[in-house]
Structure formats: C-alpha cells, structure tokens
Structure 1
C-alpha cells in the first residue's frame, strides 16, 4: 500500500539497533524478489545499483575497516557494525556472535547465493521485516501498479527518506560518545541543523543524492567539492613589498568544512623567483579538525562554517630577486587522520598483527595515502598591473 506520512516514531524504530533479521520471505514471492542481494535489486533498479556500486556505502566493509577487528574489543567492533554493516545477516559474515540459528536461517533464505559484500546494502535502508520502505513517488504522474502482481507487495512511503534526519543515525555520534573540546567526533547533523541550509529546507539528500542518485558523493570527489567552494585572492605591491590576501569561502557546504576529524585541506602559497627553478613556499595553513590518533585531544579546529570563510593574510618582501609569479595551491587530504593512525599502528604494532591483518593494513594505508588530490591552483603573474 502507498501510505505517505511523516511519522515521528518511524526513524527511531527504523534505526533501532540491533536491527531485526528479515525472517522468511513471503511465500508468494518469486525467487528474484525473495533475494536481498543488491545484484538482484538491480534487475529493476539498475541506476541505483550502479551508483551504489561506485559509492563508499558499498565499501563500508573494506580492508581499512576489517584489519581493525584485531585491535578493537569485541563490543567496540560490534558497535562499528551498526553503521558499517547494519543488517544482522551481513553482520554474521563478520562476527561469530551473529551465528544464531535465527539469523543464519534468515540469511540462507534472503541471500540464497551468499553475501559477497557485507557492507551497506539496499536492504540496510529500505527493508525491515520483509516490508519495503522508500520516498514518495517523484510526481503525481508516476505510474502506480494497483492490481495484479504488485512487485514485492509494493512499498510503504515515508517522507523521512528525503529528510536529513534519516542520515543522522550513522552520521552523528551519540551524546554518550567521545567529546573533545565539548564536541563529539561526528556532528554532521547538528552542524547542518545550525546552518542556513536547514533554515532554507535544503536536506542532505539535495546535495549528496541529487535527483535521488545513490552515489553519496563527498570529500573524495574532486568535482563535487570544487562546486561547493570559492577561492579568491589578490596581490598588492607597495614599496617593493607584496601584500597577499586570500579567501576560501564555503558556498555550498551544509555543514562544517570539512566535517569529521578525518579530512584536511592544505592551503599553500608559493613564489617563483627569476633566479630560482623551484617554487619557494611562503605560507601554509591547514583547514580541518586536528586531533591525536588516540582521539583523546584536539589541537585545533580551523574548519569553515557554512557560508563562512578561511582567510589568509601575509606580506612578502623579496631581497634582490625579481618575481615571476605567485601561486596558491589548495590540496584535499580526505583520509589524513586514517593515514596518521594506520601508520602509527603499523610502526608500533605491526609485529603483533596476524599476517592477514597486516596485509589489509598495508594495503589500506597505501590506498589512503593515494587519496590526496589538488583541488585548485591559482596563479598571479608578476610583473603585472598590481594594485597599489
């Protein structure tokens, strides 16, 4: 049945952990509809599947996550699974605690060919107790099957699928979690709630799932980030001294930029002198929330608030050398915190890890190091008609 409503209790029950196993599929379902394998969902939802397959949601259980099972307590690891692998059927692929008769029976019926990827699946968000949930039809003109064999008994419409609150369960740390300088490690929902975007009714899905695209683009996507920021600068010269003023403005980010403690943004300013081949670094700053690897101390928080700016001002007076060019390079390190943490674990505890965990750690560390990219490069040629 199509039931469009906003139910305040829906999200609290939908994301109540531990999520219940799906149980036996309805007997009248054909084999394709009994399967909760995303590849089978792709039979009718091809675009959603292809976008999901390229997304980080489909990689929530990767080597960088799996190797940590060996250093976390059992309770810590199971807590991580609530977001990284929400369904009890997928959890059973990762932890023997979930090898109960009920869960394994449910897995055998709902995933008849096994679970190749125990990450965040279609069913993680859309199915509870064999009932399908989803957002309202796009338009009133959308076709609705009202008779005959309705695919998977139709679905229950919930407006919450298009609200930021739907994302809160996994993208907002619990109040009881770690706090540094009075802030939780993840406060994306709260940051959005205080932003101008929330007041305008712009939800997480409007930016991260445009046109209901199941890609959840974020800090790792260069084009996505470029559209959300505006770098501007000017260079003035007075009595042989150059004054540099630069601004990086957040124009389309509905939360602190960057959010979480993991990513960092590097702003570096260089000058190229006539008699030097290599650029000379003049100034650099870091935009981000900088904490230690133990997550017990915050050193700085220079993140940019929604519609806010990070401003850099400095002066430079060359000696006798004439200047060819100033340039400003902005780099994004999406996984900086992971790189520091993984490297430290490899250095200090590498000999204690099993062979398999060590392989996963090294592979993940290399992957995280390679995620760094250049976001913008701006240049200012000299001599030029500089303002005085």
Structure 2
C-alpha cells in the first residue's frame, strides 16, 4: 500500500530519538526485501545508491569520528550517534550499550549479510518499524492509494521529505546546546527561515538534492560552490595610487555562507611586478565564523548572509610604476576548524591515545588538511583593463 498525506506529527515521530530497532521483517518478504544493507536497496534504486555512496552521509562514521572516542566522555560520544549513526542496529557496531538482545536480534534479521558501515544508511531516513517512507511520486504527487504486489509492501509517501524541516533534526543544534555570542554552533535551518528562499518555498532539497539526487553536495564541492557565488572587482588609478574594490556576493545560498563554524574562505590580493617573478601579497581577509579549538569563545563572524555581499576595499601605492597585473585568489578551506582542533589534540593528547586512535587521528588530519581548493582566480592587467 502507498499513502500520500501531510501529517503535522510525522516529523516529530520520525525523528524521535532514540530511533527504535526495526524488529523482525514480515515473513512474506524475500531475502532481498529483508536486507536493509544499502547494496540491497541498490537493486532497484541504483542512482540513489551510487550518489549516496560518494556522499558524506555514507562516511558519517569515519576516522575523524572514531578516534574521538578516547577523548570524549561516554555520554558525549554516544550523543554524536543521533546524527552520525541514527539506527539502533548501526549504533550496536559502535557501543556495547546498544548490544541488547532486541537490537542484536533485529540486526541479525535486517542485516543478515553484515553491516559494511555504521554510518547514515538508506534506512536511517526511509524506514521505521519495517515501514518504508519517502516523497510522493513525481508523476502524480496527489495520488493517494496504489494497490498491487509492490516490493516491501510499497511505501508511505510524505511531502515532508521535500521540506527543509526534514533536515533540521541533524543540521540545527538544540536550543540547549553550546552558544557563542548568542548563536548555536549549527543554525542553518534558522538562517534559512529568515531568507527569501524560505518565503519563496525554496527548500534545502532544491539545492542539495536536485532532481532527488542523493549526493548532498556542499562546501567540499568546488563546482557547487562556484555556482553559488559571484566575485566582482574594480581597480582604479589616480596619480599613481591604485584603489582595489572587490565584492563576493552570495547569489544561490539560502543561509549564511559558509554555514557552521568549520569552513573558512580566504580572499587574497596580490600584485605582480615586472621585474619580480613571485606575486606579492597585498591584502588578505577571511570569511567564516572563527572560534577557538575548545568551542568556548567566538572571535569573529564575517559570514555572508543570503543574497548579501562581502566587501573588500584598500589602496596600494607602489614605489615605482612597475606593476604588471593584480591577482585576486579565493581559496576554500572546508575543514579549517577540524584541522586546528585535531592539530591541538595531536599535540596535547597524542601520546595518551592508543596506537589505533592516534593512527585514525593522523589519517583524518591528513585528509582534512588536503581538502582545500582554489575557488576562483581573477587577474587584471595594468594598465589595459583599468577604467579610462
């Protein structure tokens, strides 16, 4: 059976934590239907599986997560499971507290071929108590009931799967969470609610899941970010003094950019002189929310609000008129906060960690140090491109 409806209590019950174990599958299910491993879902949902497999959802339990078990309290570590490993069955892979008779029995029935990863799986969003949930069919979204011999008893369609509120549970810190300068560490849903995107009905899924694509592209994807920003600049000269004015405008981002405290964007301006091969740095600014490694103090918040602009303006007067060109480089460091925090942990606690945890920490730190990329490079020759 397939039912389509909007239920004001659906999201509250769907994301009620802890999510209970799935239990024993219906007896008439085939072995394929009973197996909740994503590779089984891929039998019919190949496109979704291939995109999910490359996504950060599929890697929510990684070396960067696992090494922290030795520095966090049991309560702190377990609280991370709510979003990083929502299902009771996947949690049992990470913590003996979840290895109850009921959960292990459910895992044996629903993951009979084993769990490849205890991360965010298809079932984390789409299955509760052996019932499949998903968005209404695109060809007939108002269709209410379909009968027939459907795989896994069909599914219950909910329009909430296409609403920003569906994502809120994991992408918005609780009101009781840490606050710095009156702001929670994650407020992406609240940021979105204040924008014209929300007023115009543009949901998270429209940008991060276009055409229902299960890739959830974000700050780590260069092309995705390039399409969301517009860099413009002007250079004028007056009596040997150059004025550089640059603007980076948010044109397709429905929240503060970059969101959260982790990523940073660097704007660097250089001059290239005719007799010197290496560019000379003139100005550098950072866009982001800058907090200390312990998450106890915020120093600066220069993020760009939706459809707003970050402005940089400065003057440069060379000693000699030997300028060949000006350069503007925009670099993205998607994991800046993690790099700084992990470096501090490695320095202060590295010798106290087990060999395995230290190895996981070093692996994650290496990966995050190498996630930086150049977003844009703009060049302006002198004096050809200067206004007359």
TM-score, reference length from structure 1: 0.98
When residues 142 and 45 of structure 1 are mapped into structure 2, their CA distance, relative to the original with a 3 A threshold, is: farther
Q: Any idea what the Cα deviations from partners look like across 1:192-248, whole Å, max 9, x if unmatched?
A: 000110011000000000000000000000000000000000100000000000000
> CA separation in 2, counterparts of 1:47 and 1:277?
48
Q: Cα offset for 1:149?
A: 2.4
* Deviation of the 1:113 alpha carbon: 1.1
User: What residue number does 1:123 align with?
Assistant: 123
Provide closer, same or farther for how the CA distance between residues 174 and 142 of structure 1 changes in structure 2, counting only shifts above 3 A.
closer
2:156 alignment counterpart: 156
Distance 1:147 1:246 in 2: 59
* Number of residues of Structure 1 aligned to a counterpart in Structure 2: 388
Contact 1:268–1:281 (CA<8 Å) still a contact in 2? yes
Aligned CA RMSD, in angstroms, stands at: 1.4
Partner Cα distance (1:14, 1:127) in 2: 9
Hey, what's the Cα distance between the residues in 2 that align with 1:276 and 1:309? 33
User: Paired residue for 1:189?
Assistant: 189
What SS class does the counterpart of residue 3 from structure 1 fall into? strand
- The answer (yes or no) to whether the contact 1:52–1:214 under 8 Å persists in 2 is yes
* Cα distance in 1, alignment partners of residues 183 and 141 from structure 2: 46
1:379 alignment partner in structure 2: 379
> In structure 2, what is the Cα distance between the partners aligned to 1:276 and 1:354?
50
User: In the alignment, what sits opposite 2:45?
Assistant: 45
Distance 1:291 1:313, change over 3 A: same
2:349 paired with 1:345: no
Task: Give the conservation status (yes or no) of the 8 Å contact 1:257–1:304.
Answer: yes
* C-alpha contact 1:246 1:311 (8 A) present in aligned 2: yes
Instruction: Classify the secondary structure of the residue corresponding to 2:103.
Output: helix
Helix, strand or coil: the match of 1:247? strand
Given that residues 4 and 143 in structure 2 are in contact (C-alpha distance below 8 angstroms), is that contact kept between their aligned partners in structure 1? no
Change in 2 beyond 3 A, CA 1:143/1:151: farther
Which shifted more, 137-146 or 335-344? 137-146
Mapped pair 1:202 → 2:202: yes
Tell me the residue number matched to 2:180. 180
Structure 2 portions without partners, runs of 5+: none
After superposition, the Cα gap between the structure-2 partners of 1:143 and 1:7, relative to the gap in structure 1 and judged at 3 Å, is closer
Unaligned 5+ runs, structure 1:
none
User: What SS does structure 2 have at the residue aligned with 1:4?
Assistant: strand
**Correspondence for 1:236:** 236
Aligned to 1:64: 64
Instruction: Report how far residue 153 of structure 1 moved.
Output: 0.4
Q: Describe the SS at the equivalent of 1:206.
A: helix
Equivalent runs, 1:1-388 vs 2, <5 Å = 1-140=1-140, 146-387=146-387
Cα distance, 1:384 vs. partner?
1.4
TM-score, structure 2 as length reference: 0.98
